[in-house]
Amino acid sequence: MQHIYRQIQADPRFHELERKRGRFGWTLAIIVLANCLWYMGATAFFPDLAFARLWGEPLTEGGSTTWGIVIGFAQTVVFILLVGLYIYRANTEFDNLKDAIVADARRAAGE
Amino acid sequence: MPGSLKKRTVHHWARLGAPVGLAAPFAAQAAEPGKGLNPVAVGMFTVFVAVTLVVTYWAARRTRTTRDFFAAGGQISGFQNGLAIAGDFMSAATFLGVTALIFDFGFDGLIYVVGGIAGWPIVLFLLSERLKNLGKFTFADAVSMRLASTPLRTLAATGSLFAVVLYLIGQMVGAGKLIEVLFGIEYQAAVITIGILMVLYVSFGGMIATTWVQIIKATLLLAGGSILSWLVMQRFGFSFDALLREATAHHAQGDGMLRPGLMTHDPVSTLSLGTTLVLGTAGLPHILMRFFTVPSAVEARRSVFFATGFIGYFYLLIFVLGFGAIALVTREAGYFDAATGKLIGGGNMAAIHLSHAVGGDVFLGFISAVCFATILAVVSGLTLSGASAISHDLYTNVFRPHATEQEAVRVSKIAALGLGALAVMLGLLFEAQNVAYMVLLAFSIGASVNFPLLFFAMYWKEFTTRGALLGGIMGLTVAVGGIVFGPTVWVDLLGHESPLFPWKYPALFALAASVTGSIVGSLCDRGPRATRERAAFAAQYVRSQTGLGAEGASVH
């Protein structure tokens, strides 16, 4: 197995794969964490900031649903969409690239 | 006013992820509100037990190898595994505890809901695939791949067992109290029943049975929550706005509960709690173990997608239930203790009372049975992961490297029995104690020991055995010390005046200690073993990225 690993290591497409996937994964992770920090942290750190106060405002005049509730639900939906987005790209682009790299490395190794 | 709110906050936070918060409020209560044996609850639960025992029999006949026992033969689909992961996550604590949080604090409960879901995308983007590609049965496999196996597995197994046993005690005590109230049976009988059933599931059916018990329970819980929410929304003509209007009319804080800030203003606590929730979940061994039950990285990804979807949906339901409880339970004097003015059975009973308010005794029985099933499924998952740490990590890989498969499976069964007996004994021993801190500690260990170990092992080339040991031990020390000398144990339990460690959640500090230890220990490690370990990173990296050489995986 070691020689196939070396073969793959030498393949420039492998580094392209790792770079693309790494950047994509970290970007999405940071979006999620930032959303969390923004949402959880705002009340703790800056309760007086305008947007933190906006959460207490009703969505429609005279209604009871506040912006904060809508944004909270929206966060959940955004998380699920981001998960879907990652999986879509991983299943198509990344996996295709990975399969091609592995197949070539095996062929070169004479398997 | 702020003072009294803050004091309440401590108790409510303990509930989150902490079924054991259940323990204290129930202690003083007799068999209210089930008013003795609830026939619907008992009947429903009997059906659940019968079905799961049949499943266990079926699973036992399919369990021959260690791979069957620990990883369900790698034959669980992404959808099934997603449901099972969601089931592990949706404990009675989430169902009852988070509903209670919203019942008391309104909007602020939603902040915790968002934190609770956010862990899953992170697991997918950074961990799940690599974990699946590197590991075999436990996360220690991935950690010890290029590092010294004996000390690392010992460390990882210690972290796992600590977390599992603490979590088990918490669940046992909380469950015993809950069942005492809901079913009207003795505490001892409840704890022993749970102990016997979980040992049966785990030792005979292994991961296959444990997974299916979890899937059945998750389905029941999602169905129960959906019906309950539907009944609540029906009362308000399916208008969320009308529900909120009614709720604000009954809540002590009125409109205030629809705005943030009722619960917390302390930034350090909020961050540390966030760390506990997000990373603690990602570091609990019984959840990590689930990624080895699917056949491929593609299915591992699908698992997270379904898990996130189910958990997200479940939390939305809980939000409706929390506000529904404010609107429909608060106005019925019958749900409150006339003398104290508190909710009968304790704060965690909001969801249970709500089920009675909208569906009467029959629906109350159904929801009670679902809660019992939930507890049972979660403790089974915990027991299995504890047994795998003992058998796979310690016995097979440290003490008896040449153990046969049959031997490993036999040791697991004995370990499951031992863990079950231990959990029952400790559950009985801690009956009168408030054990909320134990679950808190379990999550803190997950966040500050298991998670950084796994993360560094997979991502950092320079990481060595010495760094892992130093980081792991430092993280464990700070997590345990922070809890013991913090407000929960030092003040509430031991009765000291003020805590030596001022924060309730040590996870943030324990994580910092663990990361520092790992980095310093690794960089100072210049021996020949360290050089070998660094050199081995390249091959491990290729495997983690491609799945080539992964256990039981089919690479095309």
Interface membership of A77 toward B (CB under 8 Å): yes
CATH number at residue B108: 1.20.1730.10
Taking CB atoms and an 8 Å cutoff, what residues of chain A touch B270? 40-41, 43-44
Cβ–Cβ of B241/A91 closer than 8 Å? Answer: no
The partner residue sitting opposite A47, judged by closest CB among B248, B260, B271, is B260
**Arithmetic mean of pLDDT, A30-48:** 78
Interface membership of B114 toward A (CB under 8 Å): yes
- Tell which wins on pLDDT, B347 or B171: B171
Interface membership of B166 toward A (CB under 8 Å): no
Give me the number of domains chain B comprises.
1
- Tell which wins on pLDDT, B228 or B170: B228
Q: Which of B153, B130, B151 is nearest to B141 (CA)?
A: B153
Q: What is the structure's pLDDT at A54? A: 74
Interface membership of A9 toward B (CB under 8 Å): yes
Interface membership of B551 toward A (CB under 8 Å): no
Q: What is the structure's pLDDT at B321? A: 93
pLDDT tens per residue across span B491-507: 888 888 889 998 888 99
Q: Which of B492, B434, B382, B438 is nearest to B177 (CA)?
A: B434
Cβ–Cβ of B312/A87 closer than 8 Å? Answer: no
Q: What is the structure's pLDDT at B50? A: 95
Query: Which residue of chain A has the CA closest to B310?
Result: A80
- Tell which wins on pLDDT, B234 or B505: B234
- Tell which wins on pLDDT, B472 or B552: B472
Interface membership of A94 toward B (CB under 8 Å): no
Q: How far apart, in whole angstroms, are the C-alpha atoms of residue B194 and residue B201?
A: 11
Q: Which of A75, A34, A85 is nearest to B113 (CA)?
A: A75
CA Rg value for chain B: 23
Cβ–Cβ of B259/A68 closer than 8 Å? Answer: yes
Q: What is the structure's pLDDT at B36? A: 64
Q: What is the structure's pLDDT at B431? A: 83
Q: How far apart, in whole angstroms, are the C-alpha atoms of residue A104 and residue B209?
A: 40
Q: How confident is the model at residue A43 (pLDDT cuts 50, 70, 90)?
A: low
* B14, part of any domain: yes
User: Residue B266: is its pLDDT beyond 80?
Assistant: no
User: Residue B541: is its pLDDT beyond 70?
Assistant: yes
Separation in Å, CA of B381 to nearest CA in chain A: 25
Give me B413's structure tokens: 């069964």
Interface membership of A28 toward B (CB under 8 Å): yes
User: Taking the complete model, does pTM exceed 0.80, yes or no?
Assistant: yes
**Arithmetic mean of pLDDT, B99-120:** 82
Q: How confident is the model at residue B14 (pLDDT cuts 50, 70, 90)?
A: very low
**Bridge partner list, A58:** A66
Cβ–Cβ of B304/A66 closer than 8 Å? Answer: no
Q: What is the structure's pLDDT at B20? A: 33
**Bridge partner list, A66:** A58
State which of A1-5, A16-20, B180-184, B431-435 shows the largest mean pLDDT.
Answer: A16-20
Q: What is the structure's pLDDT at B19? A: 36
Do residues B438 and B164 lie in contact, with contact meaning Cβ atoms separated by under 8 Å?
A: no
Taking CB atoms and an 8 Å cutoff, what residues of chain B touch A52? 260
**Arithmetic mean of pLDDT, A49-60:** 73
Q: Which of B91, B182, B129 is nearest to B367 (CA)?
A: B182
Q: How far apart, in whole angstroms, are the C-alpha atoms of residue B150 and residue B152?
A: 6
Full DSSP string of A41-52: HHHHH-TTSHHH
Proportion of chain B above pLDDT 90, given as a percent? 50
Q: What is the structure's pLDDT at B339? A: 81
The residues, ordered by sequence, that sit 6+ positions from B533 with a Cβ below 8 Å of its Cβ are B146, B147, B148, B463, B464, B465
Separation in Å, CA of A43 to nearest CA in chain B: 6
Q: How confident is the model at residue B328 (pLDDT cuts 50, 70, 90)?
A: very high
Taking CB atoms and an 8 Å cutoff, what residues of chain B touch A83? 120-121, 124, 304-305, 308
Taking CB atoms and an 8 Å cutoff, what residues of chain B touch A34? none
CA Rg value for chain A: 22
Q: What is the structure's pLDDT at B32? A: 46
Tell me the C-alpha to C-alpha distance, in Å, between residue B544 and each of A27, B114, B127, B132.
Answer: 20, 30, 10, 8
pLDDT tens per residue across span B267-295: 788 788 888 888 887 888 999 999 999 99
Q: How far apart, in whole angstroms, are the C-alpha atoms of residue B435 and residue B282?
A: 22
Q: Which domain holds residue B294?
A: 2-433
User: Residue B35: is its pLDDT beyond 60?
Assistant: no
Q: How confident is the model at residue B411 (pLDDT cuts 50, 70, 90)?
A: very high
Looking at residue B133, its amino acid is: N
Q: How confident is the model at residue A50 (pLDDT cuts 50, 70, 90)?
A: low
pLDDT tens per residue across span B304-327: 999 999 999 998 899 899 999 999
Q: How confident is the model at residue B261 (pLDDT cuts 50, 70, 90)?
A: low
Q: What is the structure's pLDDT at B554? A: 42
Give me B407's structure tokens: 């031997």
**Arithmetic mean of pLDDT, A67-90:** 90
pLDDT tens per residue across span B362-398: 899 899 899 889 999 999 999 999 999 999 999 988 8
pLDDT tens per residue across span B86-103: 998 888 877 888 888 888
Q: What is the structure's pLDDT at B108? A: 78
User: Residue A52: is its pLDDT beyond 70?
Assistant: no
Q: What is the structure's pLDDT at B25? A: 36
User: Residue B71: is its pLDDT beyond 60?
Assistant: yes
Interface membership of A7 toward B (CB under 8 Å): no
Proportion of chain A above pLDDT 70, given as a percent? 88
Q: How far apart, in whole angstroms, are the C-alpha atoms of residue B471 and residue B450?
A: 10
* B266, part of any domain: yes
pLDDT tens per residue across span B154-180: 999 998 998 999 889 888 888 888 888
Q: Domain locations in chain A?
A: 25-100
Taking CB atoms and an 8 Å cutoff, what residues of chain A touch B248? 64
User: Residue B469: is its pLDDT beyond 90?
Assistant: yes
User: Residue B5: is its pLDDT beyond 70?
Assistant: no
Do residues B476 and B445 lie in contact, with contact meaning Cβ atoms separated by under 8 Å?
A: yes
Query: Which residue of chain A has the CA closest to B556?
Result: A99
Give me B470's structure tokens: 């130093």
Q: What is the structure's pLDDT at A44? A: 66
Q: What is the structure's pLDDT at B324? A: 94
Taking CB atoms and an 8 Å cutoff, what residues of chain A touch B302? 87
Averaged pLDDT score across all residues of chain B = 85
Interface membership of B118 toward A (CB under 8 Å): yes
Q: How far apart, in whole angstroms, are the C-alpha atoms of residue B456 and residue B129?
A: 15
Cβ–Cβ of B555/A102 closer than 8 Å? Answer: yes
* B235, part of any domain: yes
Q: Average the pLDDT over each of A44-58, A77-91, B139-153, B321-335 and give the range with the smallest value.
A: A44-58
- Tell which wins on pLDDT, A38 or B35: A38
DSSP single-letter state for residue B347: G
- Tell which wins on pLDDT, B14 or B474: B474
Residue B245 CB neighbours (<10 A): 16
**Arithmetic mean of pLDDT, B249-266:** 74
DSSP single-letter state for residue A66: B
Q: What is the structure's pLDDT at A47? A: 66
User: Residue B2: is its pLDDT beyond 50?
Assistant: no
Cβ–Cβ of B111/A39 closer than 8 Å? Answer: yes
Phi, psi angles (nearest 5°) of residue B329: -90, -40
User: Residue B191: is its pLDDT beyond 50?
Assistant: yes
Q: How far apart, in whole angstroms, are the C-alpha atoms of residue B332 and residue B372?
A: 26
Do residues B179 and B372 lie in contact, with contact meaning Cβ atoms separated by under 8 Å?
A: yes
Cβ–Cβ of B259/A9 closer than 8 Å? Answer: no
**Arithmetic mean of pLDDT, B456-478:** 94
Q: Average the pLDDT over each of B35-49, B158-172, B542-556 and give the range with the smallest value.
A: B542-556
Query: Which residue of chain A has the CA closest to B112?
Result: A40
Best probe of the B interface among A28, A70, A76, by most B CBs < 10 A, is A76
At which residue do the structure tokens 């862990």 appear?
B119
